[in-house]
């Protein structure tokens, strides 16, 4: 039932506060959204407007939907109008063509909460003037305005100075790029959702770690990468391993991203971390003080670069690809049960990304 949004953009039931994963980069935006959504009818409006901004795919629309659903759950009498900026523009243009702007204005007169998504697309002098009039009529102690965009108000060059200033006058909450912990949390949440429909699905922690390290763009792309891995397993009957995951998402990793980490960098980082020499890592020595760091290095080379197993073997002292495969699988197995190994791999991966 989308009646919480009268004649507006339909809501997506997947996007609720319960399904939103909170991390350091989105904590303020989440807290502000929750405060607005749980305010009691009649309470003074605390943040007006609440302006949420961040890059594409970082969860702005998810939070907007979550706010609308929560308000709906708490009070079915409160009227919420949720529109994309494009929907606002098209509706206004249609009203102009029909010579019925009065009816357009009336749509906003009886609402309690106005929500506008993708504010950066609100273009055109007449459209912006109309929005400004509506904004001014609702910007008081009883009506809540919530806006989302990909830039902070100060950088919305399509708007005039006065409107940018008004949008900055409430609370501006940024959603930044997701760190490893947040990306991992998104994957865990998605896997949990998958398990409700397919109890047989089991994805090793090492594969989730790999995806969280390699896909560093948006939450949307992280979920897409996971879907690829699961599809390869389901449709092609392939095992869910780090190697298979790497093959499934190969084209998602940009060339510039791949070049950030070289095997030579990995050798240098592993040498420093474990206090062994580069020569030791490349040598034939079999002492555990050398073998384990060497295996860590091979695992990092496989997960942080697009080098093939034979190429990694050659870079690690001319070893066979089966040796590299054994090392990758051993570290993959240890990551799920040995915190010390996981901490070492995480520390090295973070160092190599800097």
Give how far Cα 214 sits from Cα of 194, 338, 349, Å: 21, 21, 10
- C-alpha 93/C-alpha 101 separation (Å) is 9
Same fold, 27-174 and 261-353: no
Q: Which CATH architecture has domain 27-174?
A: 3-Layer(aba) Sandwich (3.40)
Largest CA distance in the chain: 84
Average pLDDT over residues 173-189: 90
- 65-79 pLDDT tens trace: 999 999 989 888 888
- C-alpha 69/C-alpha 91 separation (Å) is 23
Q: Which CATH architecture has domain 180-253?
A: Orthogonal Bundle (1.10)
Spell out the domain ranges in the chain. Answer: 27-174, 180-253, 261-353
- Decide if 65 contacts 115 (C-beta within 8 A): no
Between 266 and 10, residue with greater pLDDT: 266
The predicted pLDDT at position 26 comes to 93
Q: Which CATH architecture has domain 261-353?
A: Orthogonal Bundle (1.10)
Out of 4-8, 29-33, 194-198, 280-284, pick the least confident.
4-8
- 235-250 pLDDT tens trace: 888 788 888 888 888 8
Q: Rounded to the nearest 5 degrees, what angle is found at the Cα of 134, between the Cα atoms of 131 and 139? A: 120
- C-alpha 248/C-alpha 150 separation (Å) is 29
Average pLDDT over residues 337-349: 87
- Decide if 151 contacts 145 (C-beta within 8 A): no
Selection from 23, 27, 30, 32 nearest residue 178 by Cα:
23
First to last CA, the chain: 47
Work out whether the CA dihedral 13, 16, 18, 22 comes out positive or negative. positive
Q: How confident is the model at residue 19 (pLDDT cuts 50, 70, 90)?
A: very high
Q: Which residues contact 25 (CB under 8 A, 6 or more apart)?
A: 58, 175, 176, 177, 178, 179, 182
Q: How confident is the model at residue 253 (pLDDT cuts 50, 70, 90)?
A: low
- 106-148 pLDDT tens trace: 888 888 899 999 998 888 888 888 888 888 888 766 789 999 9
């Amino acid at each position: 039932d989308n009646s919480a949004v009268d004649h507006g953009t339909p809501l997506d039931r997947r996007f609720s506060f319960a399904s939103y994963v909170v991390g350091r980069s989105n904590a303020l935006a989440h807290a502000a959204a929750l405060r607005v959504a749980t305010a009691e009818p009649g309470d003074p409006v605390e943040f007006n407007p609440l302006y949420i901004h961040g890059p594409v795919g970082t969860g702005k629309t998810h939070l907007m939907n979550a706010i609308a659903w929560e308000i709906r759950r708490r009070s079915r009498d409160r009227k919420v109008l949720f529109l994309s900026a494009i929907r606002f523009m098209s509706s206004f243009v249609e009203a102009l063509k029909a010579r019925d702007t009065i009816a357009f204005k009336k749509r906003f007169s009886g609402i309690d909460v106005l929500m506008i998504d993708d504010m950066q697309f609100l273009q055109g002098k007449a459209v912006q003037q109309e929005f400004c009039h509506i904004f001014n009529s609702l910007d008081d102690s009883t009506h809540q305005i919530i806006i989302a965009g990909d830039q902070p108000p100060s950088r919305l060059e399509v708007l005039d100075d006065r409107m940018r200033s008004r949008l900055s006058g409430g609370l501006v909450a940024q959603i930044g790029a997701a760190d490893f912990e947040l990306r991992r949390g998104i994957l865990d949440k998605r896997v949990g959702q998958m398990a409700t429909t397919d109890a047989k699905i089991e994805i090793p922690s090492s594969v989730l770690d790999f995806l969280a390290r390699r896909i560093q763009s948006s939450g949307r792309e992280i979920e897409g990468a996971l879907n690829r891995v699961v599809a390869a397993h389901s449709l092609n009957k392939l095992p869910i391993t780090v190697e298979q995951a790497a093959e499934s998402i190969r084209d998602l990793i940009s060339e510039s991203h791949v070049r950030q980490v070289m095997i030579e960098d990995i050798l240098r980082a592993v040498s420093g971390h474990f206090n062994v020499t580069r020569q030791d890592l490349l040598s034939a020595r079999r002492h555990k003080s050398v073998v384990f760091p060497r295996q860590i290095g091979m695992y990092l080379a496989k997960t942080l670069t697009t080098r093939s197993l034979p190429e990694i073997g050659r870079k690690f002292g001319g070893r066979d690809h089966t040796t590299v495969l054994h090392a990758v699988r051993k570290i993959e197995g240890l990551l799920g049960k040995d915190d010390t190994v996981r901490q070492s791999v995480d520390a090295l991966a973070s160092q190599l990304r800097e």
